[in-house]
Structure 1
Amino acid sequence: MSASHAFSHLVPDVILDAVESTGLWSDSRIYPLNSYENRVYQIGIEDGPTVIAKFYRPERWSEAQIKEEHLTLLRLQEESVPVVAPMVFNGESLFSHNGIHFCLSPKLIGQHPEADNLDQLYQLGELIGQVHQKMNAPFTKRISVLPLEQMTQAAKHILAEDYLPQKLKPIYQAQITKLIDLSATRIQAYWPTQLRAIHGDSHRSNLMLHNGQFHLLDFDDCQNGVAVQDIWLHLTQTENPRQQLSEMIEGYEAYLPFETRELDLIDVFKSARVIQYAAWLQQRWSDPAFIKAFPWFASEEYWLNHLSELHSCEQEWGQFSR
């Protein structure tokens, strides 16, 4: 099974067989959820609550890395931290069917946070602080963030293919070089002596307000990184984004002190995310789900907009610095 068509054999019968291999009995209701890197389905269960089945993209994470993610979530759940942990059957949370790892978790019903709600931003800061406090030791199996290397590799992959129009490649290379140079200067000025365990992708869609409490979902990208990585994604372009930042940090510091020097790294992580997103789409473009979901990726208009976004990263550099 090639990585480009990793889920080509994941048809309904296979999905249900996998779920039922855990001992549950499905009622044959399957509803696909919005996920592209992995495949995620809502599965109806006879005489029981609906579950969420997550099938991991083969060759992305090792079995040891996934198990470390699961162990972290189960420990957080034991500590009453509001996360959604995988379900355990006979002492196991990770299973394999037809060569694909999968897990099951309870279905959570609720709403995502409101982008500009300051009260909610304070609560999100509290939740992230609580998660970081309980994940008090770095991961031993997961990756560690390396912004300069990740930006460089992502740009290299983009330039090596023909999705980016040839006439735009010199402009792209020049813009990337500027952002990498700016990032290198920031990192040379400050980088923590030790990285910490973080969620790694704590955007609004990975948070759910359930029974009056926010829950952090989907630890698929958990890694060793910097605390501000789990904070800056909640800052939107409003009249006063610094107030948003202040609310997040105040909530965070209810559990842990926040190193203000990390604010100078927001521009680095913002630029890295923009660059890596385009590289991710390109890398997965042979997956039919990506072609269907992102048909505009192969257009010149997409790349012009991408260049504009990269330029904005440069123009807005320093917006959140101390």
Structure 2
Amino acid sequence: MTATHSFSTLVPDAILDAVESTGLWSDSRIYPLNSYENRVYQIGIEDGTPVIAKFYRPARWTEAQIREEHQTLLTLKAAGVPVVAPLEFNGDSVLRHNSMFFCLSPRLIGQHPEADNLDQLYQLGELIGQLHHTMSSPFVERITVSPLTQIDNAANQILVGNTFSTKCQLPEKLKPIYKKQIAKLRDMSQAAINAYWPVSLRPIHGDSHRSNLMLHNEQFHLLDFDDCQNGVAVQDLWLHITQTENPQLQLSEIIEGYETYLPFDRRELSLIDVFKSTRVISYAAWLQSRWDDPAFNKAFAWFGSEEYWTNHLNELKNCELEWGEMSK
């Protein structure tokens, strides 16, 4: 395989050169962290605390979009919201090295939330409520959520496939089943959106799953605003629902915490299944579209087999069968 992927030039020397271009002096220790869309490393600093270096995937975001992400984080930090904001060097946090945008941020040590801990769910609701209360002005440069467009684009990606490798293609014999299932979920999503969609969207984190939250010094912090966007409040809440039999108990804790800062429009609960289905469809398309990146080949070696696609179709069917359970 030839090194033609987006991060092919991001070798250790280039990583250290980028970090040291800020004036910091590394001790040459590089520890890769769990990130695939971008590349994230813990970098040891001589006579200092390690920093986290994040290298943005080329051509994914514009400089203006990255700057808006950073300005949001700096504003949130100044307002006392527990987030990890980028470090500034000579008044700037958006750094560039060898045509690649990157940033440095402090290292945060802690634990991710416990999936079924109701007390922690209340705290997470509080944090997201505080976040939304502080992020009062819509984004100008960032994307705006559009579930039906996401479903269409992801489904088209799956059906067309990745020209880089035939290994990860949806088998021809499963395409009719896939098209039928996608059409069903899209129709259900369209109906839910027609029944209720907010008059105006709000700035949100956009990907606030458990791995993007860290309990540090008895306080939860939000990490990784890479997917921040104009969206719907419930997008930042539903990802913490892990129970399938009684999700209402978890939801009530999250919403009660959220309403410490902002009222929650319970009509948004009817959109949870829309966002759930969109996420399931988009995740498979994301894996397929990134298959030219060697990191994906290694981390997701199970992807693309006929068994994978059969399981994916079952997951899509479950989205249909479980529709409405969370909004009862």
Class of the TM-score when normalised by the shorter of the 2 chains: over 0.9
Aligned match of 1:169: 175
- Aligned AA for 1:320? M
**Residue correspondence of structure 1 range 107-126 to structure 2 within 5 A:** 107-126=107-126
**Equivalent residue of 1:209, what SS?**
strand
Aligned match of 1:97: 97
Aligned match of 1:247: 253
Aligned match of 1:182: 188
Deviates more, 1:251-260 or 1:238-247: 238-247
Tell me: CA distance 1:189–1:67, structure 2 relative to 1, closer, same or farther (3 Å).
same
Picking from 247, 269, 272, the partner of 1:266 is: 272
Picking from 198, 207, 224, the partner of 1:201 is: 207
Aligned match of 1:276: 282
The Cα offsets for residues 23-53 of structure 1, whole Å up to 9 and x where unpaired, read as: 1000000000000000000000011111000
- d(CA) in 2 for partners of 1:306, 1:4: 29
Aligned match of 1:290: 296
- d(CA) in 2 for partners of 1:292, 1:189: 43
- Aligned AA for 1:125? G
The Cα offsets for residues 231-262 of structure 1, whole Å up to 9 and x where unpaired, read as: 00000125421100000000000000001000
| 1:15 CA drift (Å) | 0.2
Percentage identity across aligned positions? 74
Give me the CA root mean square deviation.
1.2
Aligned match of 1:61: 61
**Equivalent residue of 1:108, what SS?**
coil
**Residue correspondence of structure 1 range 1-322 to structure 2 within 5 A:** 5-161=5-161, 163-322=169-328
- d(CA) in 1 for partners of 2:120, 2:301: 34
Tell me: CA distance 1:4–1:66, structure 2 relative to 1, closer, same or farther (3 Å).
farther
- Structure 2: stretches of 5+ with no match in the other structure: none
- d(CA) in 2 for partners of 1:192, 1:252: 18
| 1:4 CA drift (Å) | 6.6
* Corresponding pairs, count: 321
* TM-score w.r.t. length of structure 1: 0.98
- Aligned AA for 2:243? Q
- Aligned AA for 2:173? K
- d(CA) in 1 for partners of 2:246, 2:120: 16
**Equivalent residue of 1:176, what SS?**
helix
| 1:194 CA drift (Å) | 0.6
**Equivalent residue of 1:218, what SS?**
coil
The Cα offsets for residues 249-307 of structure 1, whole Å up to 9 and x where unpaired, read as: 00000000001000000000000000000000010011000001111112111101100
Q: Runs of at least 4 residues of structure 1 off by over 2 A?
A: 237-240
- d(CA) in 1 for partners of 2:118, 2:243: 14
**Equivalent residue of 1:145, what SS?**
coil
Contact 1:4/1:284 (8 A) holds in 2 = no
The Cα offsets for residues 143-165 of structure 1, whole Å up to 9 and x where unpaired, read as: 00000011011001111126000
